[in-house]
Amino acid sequence: MGSVTKLRAAPAARVKIGSKSGAPKVRKEDLPLGRILDGDCVEAMRSLPDNCVDLIFADPPYNLQLGGDLNRPDGSHVDAVTDHWDQFDSFGAYDRFTRSWLTEARRVLKPDGAIWVIGSYHNIFRVGALMQDLGFWILNDIIWRKTNPMPNFRGTRFTNAHETLIWASMGEKAKYHFNYRAMKTLNDELQMRSDWVLPICSGGERLKDDAGHKAHPTQKPEALLYRVLLATSEAGDVVLDPFFGTGTTGAVAKRLGRDWIGCEREDAYRKVATARIAKELPLDESAITTMQSKRDAPRVAFGAVVEAGLLPPGTRLTDKQRRWTAEVRADGSIACGALTGSIHGVGKELQGAPSCNGWSFWHYEAADGLKPIDAARQTYLLSVED
């Protein structure tokens, strides 16, 4: 792409690509960090100074254009997105709305900042075209492939089993941050691909309102935001979510040591998000640190188990004989003293062996005793199958 790659030193291990920034710095103490700004997202963003945000994650209305009720074959009603905030009179109205919030997003982003926008086939292509019109430079489109999507009940189309994320920098030659090494470690020492297989938000992670109903119809899984923030930001960065909803971005940002600002006009969503984030505990600083520069069985990266919270950052691992102790870190790497790397690589180095199966070598303390971390992997596989 004609730009210069420069690796930065510890602790960030991020890649900065492009030309240097000369924009004036904004004092963080002047920003509404850790706050949900009330009202329309465009007006809320206008209250922020120029060049003050490192990363934006945007989950805008999809403009689903749903006509009539949607029912299952048994006649039961499907709880689809029918809220007023997802309804627009025309494509032109949606485009005007999109251009308005993207314009403000571009103003508040730092020159070396980046933006993520998630959408479906209903809107993502219109959003992508407008992003390019405004000067954003698309770096990747990420396909989030859902392991447990909603079926196509009418049987008239393919099952809509994915959503698309656009990751873009401020321009063709602009800098941006990418924690390449952390992503490779999260994926068991393989380059992270642009198709991400993750379950939808369900079970205990799905937030409910006081009546026991879904608090938000399109709540995103924390694992998705975990990967986005870990890949393209670092501890202390300011992350803005213009469509805050129930606060997934804020909760994950707090856990990973990022500062956050949200915009949300719906009172009910702000209430749920505030309560949710208040319960979230930030990880210990050492756990946030990321890495520096059977064939037929489903393959699971250790990072996926970490993302799912089954072996969260900070978990202590040991070999079966308890000779060595290691700590799980945010990107799926582990640290044993000064030795860091994947579960396989660290185990190999400690034993002086040509190879090591980290899934059977490393163990964790469970309620019923010491268990190999493969037990957590099997739990993850069962949750994905469900």
Q: What's the pLDDT tens digit per position in 237-261?
A: 999 999 999 999 999 999 999 999 9
Give every strand in the sheet of 325-328, ordered side by side: 339-341, 334-336, 325-328, 316-319, 362-366, 369-372
CA-to-CA dists, residue 111 to 103, 104, 288, angstroms: 14, 14, 25
Q: In this predicted structure, which of 75-89, 108-122, 158-172, 256-270 has the lowest mean pLDDT?
A: 75-89
Q: How far apart are the first and last CA of the chain?
A: 41
Instruction: Compute CA distances 94 → 65, 100, 101, 135, 216, whole Å.
Output: 11, 10, 11, 19, 21
Given a cut of 60, whether residue 20 has pLDDT beyond it is: no
The predicted model gives 196-219 an average pLDDT of 68
Q: What is the pLDDT of residue 94?
A: 93
| Reported confidence tier of residue 291, pLDDT bands at 50, 70, 90 | confident
The whole-number pLDDT of residue 3 equals 36
What tens digit of pLDDT does each residue of 96-121 get? 999 999 999 999 999 999 999 999 99
Amino acid at 102: L
Confidence band of 204 (pLDDT split at 50, 70, 90) = low
* β-strands 238-241, 53-58 pairing: parallel
DSSP 381: H
Kindly list the strands in the beta sheet with 5-7, ordered across the sheet, starting from the edge strand earlier in the chain.
5-7, 15-17, 177-178
Q: 222-232 vs 248-255: helix axis angle to the nearest 10?
A: 50
Cα–Cα distance between 18 and 112 in angstroms, integer? 8
Residues 6+ apart with CB under 8 A from 338: none
For residues 298-319, one letter each, b for 16 or more C-beta atoms within 10 angstroms of the residue's C-beta and e for the rest, the string is eebbbbbbbbbebbebebebbb
pLDDT at 14: 44
At 280, which helix (H) or strand (E)? none
Whether the pLDDT of residue 333 is over 90: the answer is yes
Q: What is the pLDDT of residues 164-178, one digit of tens each?
A: 999 999 999 999 999
Task: For residue 123, give both structure tokens.
Answer: 């809107």
Give exposure, 338-365, as e/b (b: 16+ Cβ within 10 Å): eebbbbbbbbbebeeeeebebbebbbbe
Q: Which pTM value belongs to this model?
A: 0.77
What is the residue-averaged pLDDT of the chain? 85
Residue 198 near residue 224, CB atoms below 8 Å: yes
- Interatomic CA distance for residues 180 and 139, integer angstroms: 14
- Predicted local confidence at residue 1, as pLDDT: 36
pLDDT at position 214, please? 61
Eight-state DSSP code of residue 321: T
Average pLDDT over residues 5-32: 56
